[in-house]
Structure 1
């Protein structure tokens, strides 16, 4: 299954910040048990690459790398087992390195100019980031009008309540967020709680 198809199927992308790579396997289990076998592990901590590697080797979850800013980070992420690469903005160098590795790039874009730059690089699935402060669902709807071939994954400032507004838009494949994988809960080892949050989130978007 392609990454866009996977996102369309599950509708949610947990945005994960891991401070300790030993939490990777139990987190993967919590996500899978809760019915959401996908994760974006952000490159915001030194544990990111090892966490991706552990989750990828553990199985049961399709793992991507988030907050990827450079081509070198693409190399690290893919080497660790990332199947897709998410960036906060649009970087031709990152997109091209992803293409060289044969992995899906999800660059960020919030303006028509950025969308056109991404299309020029052959990318038509984009992260709309930061969604909450860039006009929210109405902005995504407005952008999708002239760019009917583009799919969006809004991320940033989205919670369980606002997710439905984005998911109601035909152009939105999925939304990214961390409300079902709180960093504090991961640090505390509260994986049963995370499973419950994931399960509730999955059930909410199914209705």
Structure 2
């Protein structure tokens, strides 16, 4: 799998924070039942690596990756846990080198033109745009596409179901990252039926954006 394959899996890449690894498998299965075949489990909790391990071993039809990778040790640990890809909120030379060394597809984070250009110099043309809404939203990404048309993005951060089609309609946006597919209250209630419904709705956003254009 390469970065293009990853970004083509779903119009919405679920960004998931789990505090209980026991929820990893049912959450992944609910997303899969809703038509979403990919999940980004963020390394923001102590349960994250175990959650990745469980999804990788028990839900093979879901491509599981590690998000919020901010240190070289996290990149290596995520690979060891079975992550199929890595996502970083930003990049440093040390982190980028360690992530590349894992051999996994990497979606490095950028929020400015200079950061995107620097990553392009390192050979990356598929990037995460974070934090999307706080960094200018769809208008900013549209402007970036002028001087840097070869780059494609997965914007993440503050995006809602209502706002997602504006991003997905842009030629330099491959998919969007969204935390709304697995809201905190649904996870707290173990309401996997709701997560499945939200995944089904998210699966149609790509076609809606195409129709809008």
The two structures have a TM-score, normalised by structure 1, of: 0.96
Q: How many Å separate the matches in 2 of 1:51 and 1:34?
A: 20
Partner of 1:107: 108
Task: Provide closer, same or farther for how the CA distance between residues 81 and 189 of structure 1 changes in structure 2, counting only shifts above 3 A.
Answer: same
Secondary structure in 1 matching 2:147: coil
Q: Following the alignment from structure 1 to structure 2, what is the Cα–Cα distance between the partners of residues 89 and 2?
A: 20
Aligned counterpart, 1:30: 30
Measured against aligned partners, the alpha-carbon deviations of 1:6-53 in whole angstroms (never above 9, x if no partner) come to 322421100000010000110111011000010110011100000000
RMSD over aligned CA atoms reads 1.2
Give the TM-score, by structure 2 length: 0.93
Whole-Å Cα distance in 2 between the matches of residues 123 and 144 of structure 1?
15
Give the match for residue 10 of structure 1: 10
CA contact (8 A) 2:11 2:205 kept: no
| Mapped partners of 1:77, 1:130: distance in 2 | 22
- Shift in alpha-carbon separation, 1:120–1:204, aligned structure 2, 3 A: closer
Task: Say yes or no: does 1:189 pair with 2:197.
Answer: no
Partner of 1:43: 43
Kept in 2, the 8 Å contact 1:92–1:121? The answer is no
Figure out how many residues of one structure are paired with residues of the other and give that number. 207
In the alignment, structure 1 residue 165 sits paired with structure 2 residue 171:
no
Per-residue Cα deviation, 1:39-82 (whole angstroms, up to 9, x for no partner):
11001110000000001111121011111101110011111111
- Is structure 2 residue 137 aligned with structure 1 residue 125? no
Specify every segment of 5 or more residues in structure 2 that has no aligned partner in the other structure, as ranges.
Answer: 209-213
Instruction: Give distance in 2, aligned partners of 1:147 and 1:157.
Output: 23
Tell me the CA shift for residue 92 of structure 1. Answer: 2.1
1:56 aligns with 2:56: yes
Q: Which residue is equivalent to 2:211?
A: none
State the alpha-carbon separation in 2 of the partners of residues 120 and 206 from structure 1: 33
8 Å contact kept, 2:3–2:106:
no
Contact 1:185 1:191 in 2 (8 A): yes
- Does the Cα contact within 8 Å between 1:18 and 1:183 map onto a contact in 2? no
What secondary structure is seen at the aligned counterpart in 2 of 1:40? strand
